[in-house]
Structure 1
């Protein structure tokens, strides 16, 4: 039988990627394109939805160029939980004071709405119980409130459609305004089966969103992987160089796609403590610019400072809790590149490897005649919340701190600061784990994917700090595989997301 394929498209913070995935879940080929990030003022980060769609088309064309298009059975999209604003003609609306219409997307990491988020938290509304009791500026309600209060004429009054970026991509592909439960439940306070809580939106001053059955933010919903519309429209098919009607699955947030690509992995024979346990004994960590810690349960569990429980947000019929750290890869880069010895590190690494492989090796050499790598940084301590604490403290106003810095700025000093930063992040993961366990989760194994999962020191320090085994996917691009799973489910080659197994694994 001729091979069939599914395409997964992943829109991260700084790039768009696509992969061609086989029926067996193996990644055949992948492509990547950068996307722009603008910072019009401090803590404001914006992007262009038009540029993002163009780059999606570019990478999909590249991964499918040597494949007969009829053999591409489905396509799925995931993206960061950024806010896209369009007018009644589906044209971009500016989200900054500069009025640039093309810059119509408020990024997930944009913290302009901290004050609005605090006001929403202070209402004590019942919907907050599903976001750990604290509204985050990374979610959509405070961003929407900020736009209304600060850009009333140029943005709010002109806006007719507010999309989470994953739903924007699904709409662009199919013309369907149906939203994924993943985005609405996790970032918008939607709660199935009841739906939108009109009292919440009225209580925070956004009662105008109730008009026309919440048409501006979504009146129709479905589970991730559900087929949307009639598949690719003629226009979208032409943009992507695929056949019109190709199945498109309802989207996922990027971290949740990684979770979907990992959490159901077949681990038989690897002797992990979760092997004979339900998948609720696993925590998936998607480690990149930020990190998301995701665990599911059969019954709703309320974890203070941790988002959720969210029904069917990742796995249909299961409740999701999502912890996280707002800056991980971004924090490590910040600490390393801002150090006085960074130029020396670049020069040394240029001759041998990338900077992080070099630092990992350098730390091993430093530990060769003394304490273990773990103990090298015993006099240097980092508080890692440079971009606030997402969970479980749930305080976006927190700042970072370093204690124990010397006057010297040698390469050894840089390596130790890097180590201390990684250790701080790992201890943050332990803090999240402890909060989840106290609320009823029984986590026995960590499953890591994303860019930082390729860093051996980052992985090892997390195993050491948490005392749990860490599993990594054989298919390293688990997020792309998760996106492709959406297309596979939408194609109806599989009955549900749950029956699709993903190949793992390697154990550390």
Structure 2
């Protein structure tokens, strides 16, 4: 009998660690969350503690497995943000911070300190850069490693191991030094195609990181596994701490956004094409990641990839995104005088609900059928934290047109709406780049993450791109994705594809509002013009 078989999915996001108890049908039965510590020593610097991250993981795993027979927990999967973890030769945390505090040993994905290092890498024009849209991002690991070597040389000498955070978690759980193909290919410039697989020595030498080649790449990993492959079993001390069985299978990890893509991509919606390459997955949290898979490699300027087997085995992945989405919406609220007052009364979710109600009242008073019409003369370019895709320029900044001397709640509601729209136009900009490069037109979007709980955000995404959006019934797609990996490692399912088919579940379909197409087409023209104008301003100021 396999009626009571469970898998545990663990997700480490930007602000919290979460775990879920998931059954064989992909239903999340129980979940838990624990907030993480984050240091912000300078503007653009974001640091965390690997000790704190692991402690939080243990707590949430114990929370969801308490009262469950440990024999019924068949596999565990981990996902996490693509943040850089530094350890010494004994496996202890070592500071990556100028403060010297060893607890601050993680440079987060959103950390933008390595701007100069990213530029220097891109100036090499190395052939491998074609797999990251032509430019390495300062959010990736090689620029951060180069920053560490350049700015903290004594620390650099003491570093014995570097992990992407998802791989750090599997190492803590199993003691295995294996790395995930997902993390290395997507964030470490590791080569993987149908013909080539491995670290590119000439690239490491050319960017002044040749010391990572020493001892067969011991510091950055020399054994690489596919997400979902058996990484190892729980160590005795870890199993004892968690109250689980020693050697419980642990899957090779995956990046958090990719876990969301994995958890959604097999979702079934009424009358919606199920072909994976016809779908674009949006994982919307602090930032938004846009995941597209194809049977053939497609190079897209300004968009990462193609990465072979980085998310779905034997398919090529292109990864785009917006560096700030949920973070931007939070900032818009917290920096506005009316938002400051509202946050004293309500939590962030209730503030957003209040603003949506205001927008509906405002639209009704003007006789508008749709709230989006309120921003006919209010426009935003949303790159307050740089552009990840498809322009791939971290120096881009935000722009707003339509400001008045008005600090009312109504004004904040308009600003909030314009921000939601701008994020949707960013998705449309990414879709156009993918299709122009060779993707067939997409048939639908899939959406998960914190912003997927907002009906206004989803509807405006659908209206802006003119495509239906699938909203999975299982709201925790990221946790489901990591649990799918645990199911594969346990051998309950033979491979990732079978696990996706059996655990993917169903989705509600949100259709675009047909009569709003012309309005959003016009707004998108303004959106692109704002970018062009920003470039013109720079050219004027740089003209000698």
Q: Same fold (TM over 0.5)?
A: yes
| CA positional deviation for 1:348 | 7.0
Q: Deviations over 1:197-236 (max 9, x none)?
A: 100000010110110111111100011000013x111122
**1:149-177 deviation line (CA, Å, top 9, x unaligned):** 00000x20000100000000011111111
Distance in 1, matches of 2:235 and 2:15, equals 27
Aligned residues of 2:86 and 2:106 also touching (Cα < 8 A): yes
Give the length in aligned residue pairs.
500
Q: Is contact 1:473-1:505 (8 Å) kept?
A: yes
1:215 paired residue among 209, 215, 218:
218
Q: Is the 8 A contact 2:444 2:468 kept in 1?
A: yes
Shift of residue 345 of structure 1?
Answer: 3.1
Alignment partner of 1:299 out of 272, 296, 301: 296
Whole-Å separation in 2 of the counterparts to 1:359 and 1:24: 37
1:252 counterpart residue number: 254
Residue 299 (structure 2) pairs with residue 313 (structure 1): no
CA contact (8 A) 2:83 2:108 kept: yes
Verify: 1:419 aligned to 2:414, yes or no: no
How far residue 344 of structure 1 moved from its aligned partner, in angstroms, is 4.2
Residue aligning to 2:191 = 191
Equivalent residue of 1:157, what SS? helix
Aligned to 2:446: 447
Change (3 A) 1:8 1:353: closer
Q: Bigger CA drift: 401-410 or 429-438?
A: 401-410
Q: Which residue of 2 aligns with 1:366?
A: 362
Give the TM-score normalised by the residue count of structure 2: 0.90
Q: Distance in 2 between matches of 1:467 and 1:349?
A: 34
1:204 pairs with 2:207: yes
Aligned partner of residue 85 in structure 2, secondary structure: strand
Q: Does 1:403 align with 2:401?
A: yes
Deviations for 1:229-277, whole angstroms, at most 9, x for unmatched residues? 3x1111221232211110100000000000000012233xx012x24xx
Superposition deviation, residue 349 in structure 1? 5.3
Give the Cα separation in 2 of the matches to 1:344 and 1:151: 42
Q: Which residue of 1 is the match for residue 525 of structure 2?
A: none
CA distance in 1, matches of 2:277, 2:379: 33
Provide the C-alpha distance between the structure 1 equivalents of 2:129 and 2:452, rounded to a whole number of angstroms.
Answer: 32
Deviations 1:348-384 (A, max 9, x none): 757x971111111211111113233111011111110
The answer to whether the 8 A contact 1:344-1:411 is kept is no
Cα deviations across residues 310-350 of structure 1 (Å, max 9, x unaligned)?
Answer: 01110111110000000000000001111011144346757
- 1:57 equivalent to 2:58? Answer yes
For residues 242 and 444 of structure 2, the distance between their equivalents in structure 1, rounded to whole angstroms, comes to 39
Counterpart of 1:160 in 2: which secondary structure? strand
Partner of 2:532: none
- Distance in 2 between residues matched to 1:346 and 1:236, nearest whole Å: 40
Tell whether the 8 Å contact from 2:289 to 2:321 is kept in structure 1 after alignment.
yes
Query: Contact 1:12 / 1:254 at 8 angstroms: preserved in 2?
Result: yes
**Residue 14 (structure 1) aligns with:** 15
Q: How does 1:316-395 map to 2 (within 5 A)?
A: 316-346=313-343, 354-370=350-366, 371=368, 372-395=370-393
Pick one of 235, 238, 243 that aligns with 2:237.
235
Match for residue 469 of structure 1? 468
Aligned to 1:489: 488
3-state SS in 2 of match to 1:172 = helix
Shift of residue 402 of structure 1? Answer: 1.3
Shift of 1:68: 0.3
CA distance in 2, matches of 1:157, 1:346: 46
Residue in structure 2 matched with residue 175 of structure 1 by the alignment: 175
Match of 2:78 in 1: 77
2:506 to 486, 504, 507: 504
Structure 1, 238-247 or 389-398: larger mean CA deviation: 238-247
Instruction: Give the 5 Å matches for 1:77-156.
Output: 77-153=78-154, 155-156=155-156
TM-score w.r.t. the length of structure 1 is 0.97
For residues 468 and 495 of structure 1, do their structure 2 counterparts lie closer, same or farther at Cα, with a shift above 3 Å needed? same
Write out aligned runs for 1:422-433 (5 A). Answer: 422-433=420-431
Structure 1, unpaired ranges of 5+: none
User: Per the alignment, do residues 362 and 348 of structure 1 end up closer, same or farther by CA in structure 2, a change over 3 Å counting?
Assistant: farther
CA contact (8 A) 2:333 2:340 kept: no
> Structure 1: how far apart are the matches of 2:396 and 2:204?
27
What SS class does the counterpart of residue 108 from structure 1 fall into?
Answer: coil
**Aligned partners of 1:472 and 1:461: how far apart in 2?**
14
Give, in whole Å, the separation in 2 of the partners of 1:349 and 1:142: 40
Contact 2:298 2:306 in 1 (8 A): yes
Q: Secondary structure at the match of 2:4?
A: coil
Q: Could you list the runs of 5+ residues in structure 2 that have no partner in the other structure?
A: 511-544
Q: Which has the higher helix share?
A: 2
Q: Is the 8 A contact 1:349 1:358 kept in 2?
A: no
Q: Take 2:467 and 2:344, find their aligned partners in 1: how far apart are those partners?
A: 36
